[in-house]
Amino acid sequence: MHVFTLHKEIMQDYRSYIESFINTKGQSIHAKMNEKIESGKLWLKSLIQFNPSFKKDNSIDRLILDNVIDLSLKRIFDVYDLYQYQVEVIKLGVKIKCIVVI
């Protein structure tokens, strides 16, 4: 499957999911909700990265020392080598607390 087609389908599915919870009676409220949905206010701008070499990056220890993640996560992730994209996603997730990784 083409990655951009997949992204578009995921965004459409997410939009349908969000819209399934919206039940407005007033026309002006409904119009405002549609305006916000159309403008993309309900989701963040996509971050798409290509890294075919999967460059190695910081260790779990480094992320703990930099206070990016909690020490307790060392038990879970210590056996894994982290790649650059994984470290970027972890740092982004800690900041905004709302991410989807495909």
The residue type of 78 is D
One domain, residues 48 and 98: yes
Print the domain residue range for 28.
1-43
One domain, residues 51 and 101: yes
Averaged over 51-79, what is the pLDDT? 80
Averaged over 55-78, what is the pLDDT? 83
Would you say residue 24 has pLDDT above 70? yes
Could you tell me if 102 and 6 are in contact, meaning their C-beta atoms sit under 8 angstroms apart? yes
Q: What is the dihedral of CA 13, 19, 20, 21, to 10 degrees?
A: 130
Would you say residue 27 has pLDDT above 80? yes
Averaged over 55-73, what is the pLDDT? 84
- Find the distance separating the first CA and the last CA of the chain, reported in whole Å: 13
Going by pLDDT thresholds of 50, 70 and 90, the confidence category of residue 98 is low
One domain, residues 69 and 27: no
One domain, residues 19 and 5: yes
pTM: 0.43
Determine whether 51 is exposed, middle or buried from the number of CB atoms within 10 Å of its CB (0-12, 13-18, 19+). Answer: exposed
